[in-house]
Amino acid sequence: MRYIGNKTRLLEFIIGVLRRRGIDGGTAVDPFTGTASVARELKRQGFQVLAADIMEYAYVFGRAYVAAGRPRLSGLASAVGPDPDLDDVVRHLNHLPGEPGFIHRHFTPDGDVGARYGRMYFTPDNAARIDTVRATIQRWHDDGRIDDDAFHLLLAALIEAADRVANTTGVYASFVKTWQPNALRTLRLETPEIVHGNGCEARRTDALELLRELRPFDLLYLDPPYNTRQYPGYYHIPEIIAVGWFDGGHRLRGKTGLMPDDDRRSDWSRQGRCEEAFEELVATARWTHLVMSYNGEGIIPEPTIRRVLEEHGRKGTYKRYRQPYKRYRSDSDGENRTYSGDRVHEYLYCVDR
Ligand SMILES: C[S@@+](CC[C@H](N)C(=O)[O-])C[C@H]1O[C@@H](n2cnc3c(N)ncnc32)[C@H](O)[C@@H]1O
């Protein structure tokens, strides 16, 4: 998924650094998991992983891509066909006719609320498909026809499919005023790949709260927000799809249709607060190896990162690794921000205890 800070293209760099430092298995915690790209790769490499994040959609990704094993789909035989696998179920969902519901109503120009604000997040056809798929998997889950693993795998596939046809430039803080080519394609879920492994887990929680309660573990992989942009306001639609709208819906507000608490702000995205949060987290968590991704333009200054890690790590084990990286950029950035170029450096700060 298009996501600020998504590390998919840096996985090789991250795993390479872990190898160079001799970190090759054990328990790993990724408390800012986002799309779960790193947590999933760590699972693939044989770690027993705990993936967590404050956002519900990130919990869905963690649950689907890290915690899930073989999904139980046998309750769908009458709807989908005998002994269905995940591919069969995804194909079935892709063929369902769209039935307009919450997303259609709020996020398309054809919905009564969407029309009031001129919202063009999805074409009416795609929005109706999102509504149908979301309602169908919820019903299957509520009726006990699929288990939790299946529910989260299908929900993750829907959130990613919706993102591919969203009429945005990458974040949901605004929509484009004409239909983009990607938005005109028909919504298509893809079958998620299941990575097998044991004892992996996902949670939705604040990073510091989680790390306060965890017993000692081997690897702490940190990838906190690195700028002042707040995820709840930038990804409110994936969040709504993840949470669902089945307990009476949500009272959305503003031009973009934010949920009531979408202006909640993480300390990690606040200048002045992030340094304190970082220091407290490093001091509190009981890690043996710490590896932190941080962008060269991040709001925690490099000398602070170094000081904190050296203070809490074993002498002589601190090292910073560097990788040039083509920056994540959405068109909406261009209006407000100036860049010195498209290349930034992504760093891995490492220390051991
Ligand atoms: C840079 S992104 C992580 C990207 C991720 N590694 C990936 O590859 O997709 C930072 C993440 O931190 C999460 N976050 C922000 N504040 C948080 C907090 N207090 N506790 C836990 N997660 C938080 C955001 O929701 C976001 O997903």
DSSP assignment of 93-128, as one string?
HHHSPP---HHHHHHSTTSHHHHHHT--SS-HHHHH
Say what the pTM is. Answer: 0.94
Is residue 352 scored above 90 in pLDDT?
yes
Work out the pLDDT band at 296, boundaries 50, 70, 90: confident
pLDDT per position as a tens digit, 6-38: 999 999 999 999 999 999 999 999 999 999 999
Please tell me the distance between residue 139's alpha carbon and the centre of ligand 1 in angstroms.
30
Average pLDDT over residues 216-235: 93
Q: What percent of the chain has pLDDT over 90?
A: 82
Question: Quick check: CB of 290 below 6 Å from ligand 1?
Answer: no
Is residue 330 scored above 80 in pLDDT?
no
Question: Quick check: CB of 207 below 6 Å from ligand 1?
Answer: yes
Question: Quick check: CB of 256 below 6 Å from ligand 1?
Answer: no
Work out the pLDDT band at 345, boundaries 50, 70, 90: confident
Is residue 169 scored above 60 in pLDDT?
yes
- Tell which residue, 339, 52, 3, 74, has the closest CA to residue 200: 52
Q: Nearest residue CA, atom 12 of ligand 1?
A: 32
Q: Nearest residue CA, atom 17 of ligand 1?
A: 54
Are 147 and 64 contacting, i.e. CB atoms less than 8 angstroms apart?
no
Query: What is the rounded distance in angstroms from the CA atom of residue 233 to the CA atom of residue 63?
Result: 22
Question: Quick check: CB of 200 below 6 Å from ligand 1?
Answer: no
What is the position in ligand 1's atom list of the atom closest to the CA of 235? 25
Q: Which residue has the higher pLDDT, 277 or 198?
A: 277
What pLDDT score was predicted for residue 328?
57
Q: Residues with Cβ < 8 Å from 251, sequence gap 6 or more?
A: 260
Lowest mean pLDDT among 139-143, 171-175, 327-331, 332-336: 332-336
Q: Which two tokens stand for residue 152?
A: 């989260």
Average pLDDT over residues 133-160: 98
Average pLDDT, the chain: 93
What pLDDT score was predicted for residue 338?
45
Please tell me the distance between residue 144's alpha carbon and the centre of ligand 1 in angstroms.
31
pLDDT per position as a tens digit, 66-77: 999 999 999 999
